[in-house]
Structure 1
Amino acid sequence: MKLSVLDQSIALAGAGEDAALRDTLDLAPHCEALGYHRFWLSEHHSLPTIVGTAPEVLMAAVAARTRHIRIGSAGVMLPHYAALKVAEQFRVLDALAPGRIDLGVGRAPGGDMRTALALNPNAQGAADRFPEQVRDLQAWTAGRQHRGIVAHPRAPAASGFERVPELWILGSSDYGARLAAHFGLPYAFAYFFMDGQGVEQALELYRTLYQPSERHPTPQATICVWALAADSEAEARHHALSRDRWRADRARGRLGPLLPPDEVAARGFSADEAPGVEAGQRKAFVGSASRVAAQLRDLAAALELDELVINTWAHDPAVRRRSYALLAREFGLAPRAANAATDATA
């Protein structure tokens, strides 16, 4: 079983948004030293909670601080951009971190429509062109001449293939599963976004409809889950209150930085919020390391997966690092030698 990381650069109450980006950069070498397989970064816009707006920029900084872990976007919201420019950016990244770059792309705007129009004045209907963009991106990232154009820099061939960023389709519905299957590409389902709803159907469609490609002769799928492990059940539940509060506020259209769990506990939840919070807690992967690891193993076995991507929010960065360390130990990940920027104490 391989474990990977999705980091979203979460703003924390009491700290500047720039601190969230620095925390992302510190977390990457920590997770590399623990033995995690990938470190993915999300793209969101005009949100006061998730402040990672430019995964390709953060990926370059992460590449400079790491040596082994794969680095990727989860993902680039492709309808905002020209496929050629995205291909060029990720070929540059691959030149900086050879053989370590994943290019995850999604169709969702990662924000509201007003923001989408600011990013791309032709945003209306842009999502309808997503399959065409994926086709173009697949050709250009592979180093092929396409529409009379080649995306540079080129890379030397290895084992019969030119080294290229690995292209992934991201989604939370049947649409992404079908598209990934059609193009013969790896597929990642946003389990945490949907609380798992629709995951079985999406993976079944992906595997059943899969059309083998030269680089990916067989389906390759993963899911991203939200999980938080701690030294005790009570401690984990306490720190998870920050995300519980955020979800309750989001349901009312209120977004902001992640609040400290002590503040959330003191405030509590209103009578009309409590049922939704309790329902979310029952579905959450939160608790002692052994319990969370057992839940994740059961889920991976049920879905026939050999890799899971873990997303963890906590107001205290040390709590996040501890959670990733505990899960690495439970899953028996092979630690890597730490570099000077890494503190991977468990």
Structure 2
Amino acid sequence: MKLSVLDQSVSLAGSTEDAAIRDTLDLAVTCERLGYHRFWLSEHHSLPTIVGSAPEILMAAVAARTSRIRIGSAGVMLPHYASLKVAEQFRVLEALAPGRIDLGVGRAPGGDMRTAQALNPHTFGTADHFPGQVQDLIAWTGGRRHKGIDAHPRGEFSPEVWVLGSSDYGAQLAAHMGLPYAFAYFFSDGQGARQAIDLYRQLYRGSERHPKASPTLCVWALAADTEAEAQYHALSRERWRVDRGRGVLRPLQSPAVVAEQPFTEAEMATVGPMRERGFVGSGPQVAQKLRQLAQDFELEELVINCWAHNPSVRRRSYELLAREFDLTSGT
């Protein structure tokens, strides 16, 4: 089974936001060495925790530092932009890293609606045009003349377009257009994943590039040398999830700080289910859970997202999973 990575450039308490961007680049190099298949970058706006706001720029920097791993957006929030411009950007990326570019697109704003309007003053209602925008992207990124327009530069390869989502909408759109589909399992600890993946497979209409359905799940996972160590470092994200639920967003806190103020009984109503359904533990424990998930959903690939306040903890997590799945044997 293939494992890939989704990185969100998470800002850490006690550090700076620009350091999070540089850490993303370092992580990409590490993940290529470890044998991961893809390295995807998210797009969020006006958030103090997830500071990767321009995946297409980060992708170019990753391309310059790597030679094998596929590089992608997860994703470009398409309603903010003109499809032609996005197609041109990704054709340039394809020229920089031939045969290695994924163009994952979503229709969510990646921030609040005030920010969305600042990104595009005409943004309200434009999500309704998302299917048409995706169709335009498929044509222009594929090197076809479309609406009397060409997207340059052309080359031997073209970006692989993915639809990203956390609902049935994206699953149905991907199926209708014959595109790969990635479900954001980590958004809601898997809620709605079964229905979306089943719907995608049932409705899938094969395309020339993708004759068979190609689904995957993006999962949050943290592995460490011991289960106790993993649970300790997971406190940072647990605190973030609780705070987000009450409208408080800030850089990721260290587990030491979180441990000083244990979760209240009310907060455990959020944390408890997260722990029950989570992929946190030793390398073998997390690998077993991931294999079971892939088997249950009949998947050939999983995308792993990992947050930790200490960058070395995150790298160790990816290293342990790479070892468990013997990723370097396929590179």
Matches within 5 A, 1:198-209: 198-209=192-203
- Structure 2 length as normaliser, TM-score? 0.99
Matches within 5 A, 1:57-76: 57-76=57-76
**1:336 Cα deviation from its structure 2 partner:** 8.5
**1:10 Cα deviation from its structure 2 partner:** 0.1
SS in 2 for 1:273: helix
Aligned to 1:186: 180
SS in 2 for 1:228: strand
Aligned to 1:127: 127
- Is it true that 1:316 corresponds to 2:310 in the alignment? yes
Count of residues paired in the alignment: 331
SS in 2 for 1:309: strand
Distance 1:239 1:336 in 2: 30
SS in 1 for 2:149: coil
1:336/1:211 Cα in 2 relative to 1: closer, same or farther (>3 Å)?
A: closer
Letter in 1 for 2:79: P
Aligned to 1:244: 238
Aligned to 2:105: 105
- Is it true that 1:283 corresponds to 2:302 in the alignment? no
Does the 8 A contact of 1:32 with 1:336 survive in 2? no
**1:335 Cα deviation from its structure 2 partner:** 5.8
SS in 2 for 1:272: helix
Aligned to 1:171: 165
- Is it true that 1:296 corresponds to 2:290 in the alignment? yes
Aligned to 2:2: 2
**1:250 Cα deviation from its structure 2 partner:** 0.4
Aligned to 2:250: 256
**1:261 Cα deviation from its structure 2 partner:** 0.3
* Unmatched 5+ stretches in structure 1: 157-162, 338-346
Does the 8 A contact of 1:45 with 1:53 survive in 2? yes
Deviations 1:184-207 (A, max 9, x none): 000000000121011111111111
SS in 2 for 1:4: strand
- Structure 1 length as normaliser, TM-score? 0.95
SS in 1 for 2:266: coil
Farther-moved stretch of structure 1 (320-329 vs 264-273) = 264-273
Distance 1:95 1:286 in 2: 38
Matches within 5 A, 1:81-100: 81-100=81-100
Distance 2:145 2:233 in 1: 51
Distance 2:169 2:273 in 1: 27
Give runs of ≥4 in structure 1 deviating > 2 Å.
none
Distance 1:37 1:55 in 2: 18
SS in 1 for 2:202: helix
Aligned to 1:45: 45
Does the 8 A contact of 1:167 with 1:185 survive in 2? yes
Distance 1:223 1:336 in 2: 21
Does the 8 A contact of 1:34 with 1:336 survive in 2? no
Distance 1:186 1:130 in 2: 16
Deviations 1:7-48 (A, max 9, x none): 000000000100000100000010000000000000000000
Percent identity, aligned pairs only? 71
**1:58 Cα deviation from its structure 2 partner:** 0.2
Letter in 1 for 2:221: A
**1:278 Cα deviation from its structure 2 partner:** 1.3
SS in 2 for 1:90: helix
Of 202, 227, 230, the residue aligned with 2:224 is 230
Letter in 2 for 1:240: A
Distance 2:329 2:31 in 1: 9
Letter in 2 for 1:67: S
Does the 8 A contact of 1:232 with 1:288 survive in 2? yes
Distance 2:244 2:168 in 1: 25
**1:283 Cα deviation from its structure 2 partner:** 1.2
Deviations 1:160-204 (A, max 9, x none): xxx100000000010000000010000000000121011111111
**1:271 Cα deviation from its structure 2 partner:** 2.5
- Is it true that 1:218 corresponds to 2:220 in the alignment? no
Distance 1:312 1:175 in 2: 26
Aligned to 2:265: 271
Deviations 1:113-148 (A, max 9, x none): 000000011111010000000000010000000000
Distance 1:270 1:291 in 2: 28
**1:82 Cα deviation from its structure 2 partner:** 0.1
**1:270 Cα deviation from its structure 2 partner:** 2.0
